[in-house]
Structure 1
């Protein structure tokens, strides 16, 4: 349990060295190859899904203010050897060329019986072989046709293997509702699968994209092509709907986080549907600017997701009696019904965003959830308009005091540049730069009995 008043002096020193580190865990390069299927096995053709080199992506990411980035190319038949023998040397070249950017090795893993996930490998002497073994033995796209690997159990087997590795890899499910056919009508990723995967390796598979990439797609934002199941304010319906899938998982006590990524393949200025890493979407991690602490922050939920540089710092705290408080990813113990004070502080950047705008923050919303008697999430919310914000230097602040959930629960927050009380379904042709949101990750509240 993270209760800040109980931190030791070394822990306080480590905390003091942390700051908000922006990054992106879903970026493609020329090693998201096409395949010449006239040969057996198929021959990889570099540049199939993206024309950009890893060095170019790293340079652009750093230029857009990112501190960290994950290289995540698609798989395919025999792609484990492409990653090992060609993409890996390209990563080393990018690390040499852009030493100021923390660059993680990874891939967009083809999930058996589902779709895609960002797989992040911890830097170290074994990272090349660790990814090679995972992709070779477990990726859905790896077998040479006509062989297949597309059973639900195979994903559970993959996670069972990954949880034995040291250091542990990390995984986020990408664009979870992209294949849905309606609100609550799931496609290749179902809530029961998210739960099963999280149960199988809760310290490996730790979350999902809250805001998918491809935000520059003019017709289908995020490439969510079914008009009955679009993104909502650029965020996936599982995240955007209060009381929806994400809230249901949090109400169960699951430490399951959300992020925002570019899913960069080809930039809109080059005729594509994407923004560059850091150009539109960012995941900010509270960490020291070093790979290990950034991975810990991603694994432990010390992060928030934002589009269009609406905010660049966020402090969500839940306070109990005295000095006891917890922040994102942490847990605060409170007696049922005890006063619980929520404070949210956000900071907006002084510099213009990459569209040359200084977007206004029109409103924020504090969201409290708990499990109802039937297990479904019971939600309470409070919305604050901009005139209600308090100013503390560069920070805009709101607070709300209410009774702690009787059986424990969670607190999260979001805000927007729009006047929409809740994010509306996205429509063809809308300008993503006029529809900006941030979402925090949760703080948990644990119920404790009152001693008599």
Structure 2
């Protein structure tokens, strides 16, 4: 065990790049990049994909294979690796670790971070952003995607912070950590890894210590029916700068139960591939937005393998193959990507239904984008503009066309107080589709962008968000009155036929969701 500690310490001290997919010189020029490209750019990526350092991933799911598919085959711009924060028995190439399993944070330091640095030094994944987060088993709850990026990308402090988090907030044996570190950590904090209060302690720890340089995003939240809406409110209250979103469009879309959400209750299934919390107009997400919370939607692959090596099971697509987040990023560093994620200026899409979206609200000379808050006088007009574009074909080789786009709105009434009935209410009764746009309502320019304008008089605090699909309003088994229906399980005995039908199911049922724009009304 002493040798493992020594290797871990040496790797920390020798790293010059941590959780960073760009050369150090590029990262150092981030400020210059912001000046030369002050408007930023859209970048495609996700934060939730696994490698062989997760024991439930296939042996072929090496780090390099994952990055090859994400970047070279499916056109991603940034990637967050998110292996399980558990004991890890394999390295980044799938080889068994000599001496037996080690804590994941140590495995990241010894294998993953050095391999990313090596690959980029060799010229691979040029101008791509790569970082190592992890998927935490939050005590009494579900999986949470976490990244601790540090004040400066590449600092050993970030690796040490991940190691400290694993010590404090998982049930790993204390003997698996460096005794010198443990002595310091014990003097600072107590271990908290069993109760729902321990979960809250961990989030508070991130907010206190890494407020601007970490994230904690709830993965596939409805899968196990373990959350109440009051939990979401608690988490966001405790760590508003860190716990700022959820995986409303989960990965594992190649599961027979789409997204792997397979409980029997309607609230714990997917609708058009999306979590019920997202898909239900006036549901849990709208309840949070109705409080004015900056709480955003994300999509991910949750990639472990597509089809198992024994050809018995299917799981999820490669990163970028079926789902993407489009995030507006100013700069070229990991921190720039994190800031983009936190800003809410992003949208998420299945099956490349769209590959560009502009969504703005304007009043006079003031214009805001997704994630922003437009302040207007009561009675003034707000002009909402939407421009979107679809590729000619998606990654399945299918032509892509949006059938309609919904403009969804709900009132913002302020944060609910803990202990009140409102704090436990998981709906927003004011939310509705205020306008459904079809091709009759948009104009198309020579570049293939479809443009929509809509005006509304501002007489109350509210938010607006978008949802679009390739399906008509009433498609048997798929939609009713424009709303997505519950996804049926694909039950076919023959494995290969089942794999094919699952893929067909997914690609005929495509959706995109934007993050909201808030409109705040001031007295005249």
Specify the TM-score bucket, using the shorter chain as the normaliser.
0.7 to 0.9
Alignment of 1:269-288 (within 5 A): 270=309, 271=311, 272-288=314-330
Shift in Å, 1:11 = 12
For the pair 1:159 / 2:203, whether they are aligned, the reply is yes
Residues 78 and 136, structure 1, Cα contact 8 Å, conserved in 2: no
Partner of 1:132: helix, strand, or coil?
A: helix
Output one character per residue of 1:401-443: Cα deviation in whole Å (capped at 9) or x when no partner.
112241x121110100111311111112261011111100011
Residue 454 of structure 2 corresponds to: 400
For the pair 1:308 / 2:351, whether they are aligned, the reply is yes
Partner of 2:273: helix, strand, or coil?
A: coil
Q: 2:287 aligns with which of 248, 252, 265?
A: 248
- Give me the whole-angstrom Cα distance separating, in 2, the residues matched to 1:11 and 1:410: 32
Residue 298 of structure 1 corresponds to: 341
TM-score by length of 2: 0.74
Relative distance call for 1:250 and 1:209 in structure 2 (3 A) is: same
Partner of 1:268: helix, strand, or coil?
A: coil
- Give me the whole-angstrom Cα distance separating, in 1, the residues matched to 2:102 and 2:448: 50
Q: 2:259 aligns with which of 218, 222, 237?
A: 222
Residue 466 of structure 2 corresponds to: 413
Residue 154 of structure 2 corresponds to: 124
Residues 77 and 143, structure 1, Cα contact 8 Å, conserved in 2: no
Shift in Å, 1:112 = 1.4
Partner of 1:318: helix, strand, or coil?
A: strand
Residue 303 of structure 2 corresponds to: 264
- Give me the whole-angstrom Cα distance separating, in 1, the residues matched to 2:305 and 2:297: 24
Residue 424 of structure 1 corresponds to: 485
Q: 2:396 aligns with which of 355, 361, 372?
A: 355
Residue 431 of structure 2 corresponds to: 379
Runs of 5+ consecutive residues of structure 1 not aligned to the other structure: 1-9, 34-47, 180-186
Shift in Å, 1:14 = 6.9
Q: 1:388 aligns with which of 441, 457, 466?
A: 441
Shift in Å, 1:290 = 3.0
Runs of 5+ consecutive residues of structure 2 not aligned to the other structure: 1-31, 90-100, 175-190, 415-420, 423-427, 473-478, 491-501
Shift in Å, 1:16 = 4.3
The structure with more radius of gyration: 2
Partner of 1:438: helix, strand, or coil?
A: strand
Shift in Å, 1:338 = 2.1
Relative distance call for 1:372 and 1:31 in structure 2 (3 A) is: same
RMSD between superposed Cα atoms in Å: 2.5
- Bigger share in helix: 2
TM-score by length of 1: 0.86
Shift in Å, 1:13 = 5.6
Q: What is the count of residue pairs matched by the alignment? A: 414
Residues 251 and 409, structure 1, Cα contact 8 Å, conserved in 2: yes
Partner of 1:162: helix, strand, or coil?
A: helix
Output one character per residue of 1:25-68: Cα deviation in whole Å (capped at 9) or x when no partner.
100111112xxxxxxxxxxxxxx433211121111110210011
- Give me the whole-angstrom Cα distance separating, in 2, the residues matched to 1:301 and 1:131: 25
Residue 40 of structure 1 corresponds to: none
Residue 82 of structure 1 corresponds to: 103
- Give me the whole-angstrom Cα distance separating, in 1, the residues matched to 2:257 and 2:88: 31
